[in-house]
Chains A and B, each alone.
Chain A
């Protein structure tokens, strides 16, 4: 049966030998061991079978001698049996294994953000120049008081529920220490502090060095409760109960024992080498009432000082689920769309389960408004927010703020090679190998994250100004500012928007 398991490399390393000076940078930089110097032939050679196309060697080659190209080796063309479907069968027939993949689905599903256009003012309602005029991007997340209370003199008695304040409606979403590196976490923590926003520990606990960023930290509680202890809950500005993740709804986290080393073991508070299993179900939560029980246990444990976020994956009945959560005592609902990233998930789940965030968000916002409970909670959405325009569209569909993770990792150097699960990230992000982790300088990483969020915030202001809107609050749920392009009646109905030209 030999030969079946030989899979022709998907990507080929092209080396321009006129330029290559055999300096061996590529060899040193590649944790996948693609390149080596062939003594006999006196030149650098590459093993394409090991290449994951992360572009590290290409980026660091001092003479620009390298490029990676998609191979032109082809299976017989077949619109139904595409090459990757055939090769996946070879892999599984060989190993009997579940196909594991990383980051968001690469499959061609409709991206509704790309089928919506934003409005701008012309003649009648003047636009605003954000360079000259104040533009409010601050948002407060938490349940909103709907009643005004006055004292005997008629003065308003200020009353705020537990909330968090963001300088801009963008937060870094949950990525655990373990799935990403110490330096990546540090960069996110420092950037959140400088920006006046929040990053999220994920379900892997909070490294002792990062407690000082607590006021910009959202601490997560998942079914496995890794690293969850009173100080951890106390450290965060908000608490997030992870019920689900967009990339793998209904599937839990599993960090293999091989990755539970050193600080990761200490932070998760489990011995080195033991598996970290965080199954999808919380075995104490089978209903909204049970969810309420955990929410209030967390509130009791933290003296009702911190808002509680419930994070769920966008699935078919998300509107009904969100309606339940909005009545459960949660302060914020986070909805993670199916294009969201992951450090590892079964490909069959990632590529086929869940629904897009845009549709989930639109239906949840509508449902909560119809039921008169929209102000019970804030809505945060994530699951592949790629640009400031995506954020403006999400807010116009009803979000209070967005969660970004993949974009943040890209700012740190991620080239979306989608092999995080191998633990050999050449960019020092999704790895625990010290020699690779140190490639990511947390200070430079922080600067890049701050730059990205500032750039996006400026773009959001420009776009809002163009519409004649001067605050996120006035944009929120303002679907009149959106028009569909190339969408059918049903899609427009769910999104609650008109078609372009209407």
Chain B
């Protein structure tokens, strides 16, 4: 089903998607309407134009493909499904996502993957093709974030305070040197064989989606960031 979004509010748009028995949608002329596909499941939605904030919030299994760029809070608290962004994403992409995948071909703004969590079979994945802003993976508690820095020439493809408050999960950074200000909660190591196997699995679909050469990507050096200890905050307190 093709929906012309011109003049439609986000509420009307979402209602049309929810109420339709179709499972595949092309939304055309989207101009910043928010909340597209919020809580959506079982649909495949292609967005032509620019979605507003919170595209795919609470997403529960649907696939959303954005042919241009997305704004803030893409996939907020996403539970399952897939969001593909051919351009770049604004701030807080994948906030507290617990499942599903977000593929960004371009850059991500601040706080990508903040509060990302994993639980049992729910293992969220956020892949960023170019670079990410500051606070990548802040408070990360689980899941995997991969930043490829495809145009970063081996320089760290992240801003400041990468992994601040991290206490679970994993961050892969494709670069030759580490960000100079990694917080003490984070340990950085060269990628192990085990890590590489996992990375290859994660990248297959991503590379195919954006027509990238996976071998070329994997040829460069990767660091893996993990939390320093399981309970970094335990020693902070005493009692009265």
B24 to chain A, nearest CB (A): 21
- Least CB distance from B35 to A in Å reads 4
Q: Which residues of A contact B117 (CB under 8 A)?
A: 225-226, 269-270
A-B contact count, CB below 8 Å?
143
**Given A98-B238, A274-B142, A275-B231, residue A300 in contact with residue B114 (CB < 8 A):** no
> How far in angstroms is the closest Cβ of chain B from A54?
15
Q: Check A99–B167 contact: CB distance below 8 A.
A: no
Are B115 and A229 interface neighbours, CB within 8 A? no
Query: Which of B90-98, B186-194, B218-226 participates in binding chain A?
Result: B90-98
Nearest to B232 among chain A residues (CB) is: A275
**Is A271 a contact of B54 with CB atoms below 8 Å?**
no
Q: Point out the residues of chain B lying under 8 angstroms from A233, CB to CB.
A: 39, 58
Closest A-chain residue to B95, C-beta based? A284
Contact between B238 and A91, CB atoms less than 8 A apart: yes
Task: Tell me whether B240 is interfacial, beta carbon within 8 Å.
Answer: yes
A476 lies within 8 A of chain B by Cβ: no
Q: Is the CB of A98 within 8 A of B237?
A: yes
Give which listed residue, A224, A275, A347, contacts B115 with CB less than 8 A.
A224
The answer to whether B240 and A88 have CB atoms under 8 Å apart is yes
Known: A271-B119, A300-B10, A300-B57. A228 touches B234 (CB 8 A): no
CB distance from A405 to the nearest CB of B (A): 21
Assuming the contacts A92-B238, A271-B168, A274-B141, asked whether A297 and B115 have C-beta atoms less than 8 A apart, the reply is no
Say whether, besides A228-B96, A274-B168, A283-B114, A301 and B57 are in contact (CB < 8 Å): yes
B60, closest chain A residue (CB): A230
Residue of B whose beta carbon sits closest to that of A268: B119
Enumerate chain B residues within 8 angstroms of A254, measured Cβ to Cβ.
233
A294 to B57, CA, bound (A): 10
Q: How far is the CA of A256 from the CA of B76 in the complex (A)?
A: 25
B66 within 8 A of A: no
- The residue from A95, A99, A277, A293 contacting B233, defined by CB atoms under 8 A apart: A277
> A250 an interface residue at 8 Å Cβ cutoff?
no
The complex places the Cα of A409 from the Cα of B39 at a distance, in Å, of: 35
Which residue of chain A has the shortest Cβ distance to B96 in the bound complex?
A: A225
B34 within 8 A of A: yes
B107 within 8 A of A: no
| B39 / chain A contacts, CB cutoff of 8 Å | 230, 233, 300-302
Determine if B162 is an interface residue (Cβ-Cβ < 8 Å): no
Q: Which residues of A contact B35 (CB under 8 A)?
A: 296-297, 300
| Mask of A76-115 contacts with B, CB within 8 angstroms, 1/0 | 0000000010001001101111111100000000000000
A223 on the B face (CB < 8 A): yes
Interface size on A, as a range, is: 35 or more
Is A256 touching B239 in the complex (CB atoms < 8 A)? no
Query: How far, in Å, is A420 (CB) from chain B's closest CB?
Result: 11
Q: Which has the most chain A C-beta neighbours within 10 Å: B35, B38, B135, B240? A: B240
Chain A residues contacting B92 (CB-CB under 8 Å) are 283-284
Bound: A229/B232 CA distance, A: 27
Q: Which residues between 128 and 166 of chain B lie within 8 Å of chain A, taking CB atoms?
A: 135, 138-139, 141-142, 165
Provide the bound-state CA to CA distance between A51 and B4, in Å.
Answer: 69
Separation in Å of the B65 CB from the closest CB of chain A? Answer: 20
Query: Of B168, B235, B238, which contacts A99 at CB under 8 A?
Result: B238
Asked whether B53 lies within 8 Å of A293 as measured between CB atoms, the reply is yes
**B240-A347 in contact (CB<8A):** yes
Asked if B73 is at the interface of the complex by the 8 Å CB criterion, the answer is: yes
Which partner residue on chain B sits nearest A257 by CB separation? B231
As a 0/1 sequence over residues 53 to 64 of chain B, the CB contacts with chain A under 8 angstroms (1 = contact) are: 110011010000
Q: Which of B53, B60, B141, B231 contacts A270 (CB 8 A)?
A: B141
**Residues on the A chain within 8 Å of B168, using CB:** 270-271, 274
Closest A residue to B37 by beta carbon equals A300
For residue A196, CB closer than 8 A to chain B, the reply is: no
Query: What are the residues of chain B within 8 A of A347 when measuring CB–CB?
Result: 240
For A97, the chain B residues whose CB sits under 8 A away are 235-238
Q: Are A269 and B98 in contact (CB under 8 A)?
A: yes
B73 / chain A contacts, CB cutoff of 8 Å: 284, 293, 297
Docked CA distance A223–B232 (Å) = 19
B230 proximal to A (CB < 8 A): yes
B101 contacts partner chain A, Cβ-Cβ < 8 Å: no
| Cβ contact within 8 Å between A256 and B142 | no
The answer to whether A274 and B76 touch across the interface, beta carbons within 8 angstroms, is no
* Cα distance A72–B117 in the bound complex, in angstroms: 51
Closest-CB distance, B173 to chain A (whole angstroms): 21
In the complex, the chain A residue whose C-beta lies closest to that of B168 is: A274
CB neighbours of A446 from chain B (8 A):
none
- Distance between Cα atoms of A44 and B87 in the complex (Å): 74
Bound CA span A229–B141, Å: 17
Verify if B200 is at the interface (C-beta below 8 Å from A). Answer: no
CB distance from B98 to the nearest CB of A (A): 6
Residues of chain A within 8 A (CB-CB) of B240 are 84, 88, 91, 99-101, 347
Cβ of B14 within 8 Å of any chain A Cβ, yes or no, is: yes
Looking at the assembled complex, report how far the CB atom of B30 sits from the nearest CB atom of chain A, in whole angstroms: 15
Contacts of B165 in A (CB 8 A): 277, 279
Chain A residues near B88: list those with CB within 8 A. none
Given contacts A229-B98, A277-B141, A296-B34, contact A421 B115 (CB under 8 A): no
Near A by CB (< 8 A), chain B positions 22-77 give 34-35, 38-39, 41, 53-54, 57-58, 60, 72-73, 76-77
Chain A nearest Cβ from B232, distance in angstroms: 8
Question: Are B77 and A225 in contact (CB-based, < 8 A)?
Answer: yes
Most buried by A among B34, B54, B135: B54
Contact with B along A171-184 (1 / 0, CB 8 A): 00000000000000
B111 within 8 A of A: yes
Determine if A273 is an interface residue (Cβ-Cβ < 8 Å). Answer: yes
| Docked complex Cα distance between A419 and B76 (Å) | 36
Partner of B231, one of A256, A269, A284, A304: A256
CB distance B96 to A224 under 8 Å?
A: yes
CB within 8 Å for A301 and B38 given contacts A275-B167, A284-B72: yes
B139 contacts which of A277, A300, A301, A421 (Cβ < 8 Å)?
A277
Asked if B236 and A283 sit within 8 Å, CB to CB, the answer is no
In the assembled complex, which residues on chain A have CB atoms less than 8 Å from the CB atom of B232?
275
Q: Is B76 a contact of A273 with CB atoms below 8 Å?
A: no
| Complex Cα spacing A440 to B41, Å | 40
Nearest B residue (CB) for A233: B58
- Closest Cβ–Cβ distance, residue B231 to chain A (whole Å): 5
Write 8 A-B pairs (CB below 8 A) sorted by A numbering. Answer: A226-B117, A229-B79, A233-B58, A257-B231, A257-B234, A274-B142, A284-B73, A297-B58
The 10 A-B pairs of least Cβ separation, nearest first, read A97-B238, A225-B96, A301-B39, A300-B38, A269-B119, A95-B238, A300-B35, A100-B237, A297-B57, A301-B58
